[in-house]
Amino acid sequence: MSQSKLTDRFGRTVNYVRLSVTDRCDFRCVYCMAEDMTFLPRQQVLTLEEIARIARNFVDLGTEKIRLTGGEPLVRKDILELVREIGTYGLRDFAMTTNGSQLPAMAESLRKAGIHRLNISIDSLDAEKFRSITRTGKLSQVLEGIDAAREAGFEGIKLNTVVMKGRNDEEIPELIEFARRKHVDISFIEEMPLGEISEHDRGLALCTSEEVRDIIRKHHELVPATEDSGGPARYYRMKDSETRVGFISPHSHNFCSTCNRVRVTVEGRLLLCLGNEHSVDLLRVLRGNPVTDDKLRQTIINAMDLKPERHHFATNGDVQILRFMNMTGG
Ligand code: SAM
Ligand code: SF4
């Protein structure tokens, strides 16, 4: 039973926080960013000490799980110091989502610093396609990063693939075989309308989880797994492998009634829902005078009243949320 002191108007308990540690990234994935992004000036960005303070106060309020994300968390200077600090808070689950490019050099240190589990994004196993989707990414680096993570002994590694029609949907069977070979899990994600992009039409590119499942079922029987993350993911198992296959379906799976999470952007905005703009400014509290942990905790507790009942993503690709995913903290 969760000891979280954070409950909202709909009786949901919040015990999972995703913290974005930077809006910057070494990739420019076509669904996540515009090609010429402007990033936040340094003074608008939380310091590592401020991020740690937010994390500690969430833990004091009963948070059991923290995920560090971004932007690309591993391009934030001194990220290992933050990981080491949060690693002392006694979390049940401490995870990170990364594009994998820095893992060849950092996987082992991350594990030692206290990260339990990693999500690594990979949308293609073809170097050219990988480059065209990430605009700047090098596939070989990420493949090396996945191997480095496996050697470092994380409790769990999951690959994340955003599926786009006509772009990487044909690679789904190959990606499944890759995950099975590497003994890691894999989730397929429906593209969400976060931020305005001109590179492709999100509505036309949308490949629903149902379509992805149908493709996989031509090769493997999928048995529903019992795990529920409280989030948008549904998991399946295959009979002859320990690899789990997840489907993250913000469009087709209404997971809102069991939502247990909130996000904090690197500007210190506490976001109550991925698909809504409701937020509370924690940076102002942190840089106010006097700053007390009591005030920060009370602000977080009060914010729970703003958590909306559900999100409303349309499937036609229309932008409803102006922030890009790198700002939201995926
Ligand atoms: N840079 C890291 C990475 O790519 O894993 C962490 C941040 S990234 C924003 C987190 C996840 O969000 C990635 O798996 C990425 O593929 C996914 N993502 C980004 N933009 C998205 C969008 N518009 N719809 C669905 N998923 C998206
Ligand atoms: Fe960077 Fe991750 Fe966004 Fe790709 S999805 S641009 S790797 S933050």
pTM: predicted TM-score of the whole model, two decimal places? 0.94
pLDDT tens-digit map of 7-58: 999 999 999 999 999 999 999 999 999 888 899 999 999 999 999 999 999 9
Counting from 1 in the atom list of ligand 1, the atom nearest the Cα of 193 is: 23
What does the block give as tokens for 189? 């994600």
Q: How far is the CA of 32 from the centre of ligand 1 (A)?
A: 6
Residue 329 lies in a domain: no
- Give the β-pairing of 93-98 and 269-271: unpaired
Q: How far is the CA of 27 from the centre of ligand 2 (A)?
A: 6
Rounded Cα distance, 236 and 131, in Å: 30
Residue 28 CA: nearest ligand 2 atom is 6
Which residue puts its alpha carbon closest to atom 3 of ligand 2?
32
Q: Within a domain: residue 86?
A: yes
| Predicted confidence band of residue 319 (pLDDT cuts 50, 70, 90) | very low
Which residues make Cβ contacts (< 8 Å) with residue 65, sequence separation at least 6?
15, 16, 17, 91, 92, 93, 94, 95
Q: Ramachandran region of residue 90, left (φ > 0), alpha (ψ -120 to 50) or beta?
A: left
In a domain, 1, yes or no: no
**Per-residue model confidence as pLDDT tens digits over 60-76:** 999 999 999 999 999 99
256: in domain: yes
Q: 96 alpha carbon to ligand 2 midpoint, in Å?
A: 13
Q: Does 314 score more than 90 pLDDT? A: no
Q: Is the peptide bond before 193 cis (omega within 30 degrees of 0)?
A: no
pLDDT tens for 133-143 read: 999 999 999 99
Instruction: Say if residue 6's pLDDT is above 60.
Output: yes
Cα dihedral sign for 85, 260, 118, 72?
negative
Domain membership of residue 100 (yes or no) is yes
Residue 2 counted as domain residue: no
pLDDT digits (tens, 9 = 90+) for 184-235: 999 999 998 777 788 888 888 899 999 999 999 999 999 999 876 667 789 9
In a domain, 29, yes or no: yes
Q: How many structural domains is the chain composed of?
A: 1
Ligand nearest to the CA of 188: 1
Q: Which domain holds residue 84?
A: 12-323
Q: For residue 165, what pLDDT band results from cuts at 50, 70 and 90?
A: very high
The CATH number that applies at residue 147 is: 3.20.20.70
Round to whole Å and give the CA distance between 207 and 188: 10
The token pair at 263 is 């996000």
Judge whether 171 lies within some domain. yes
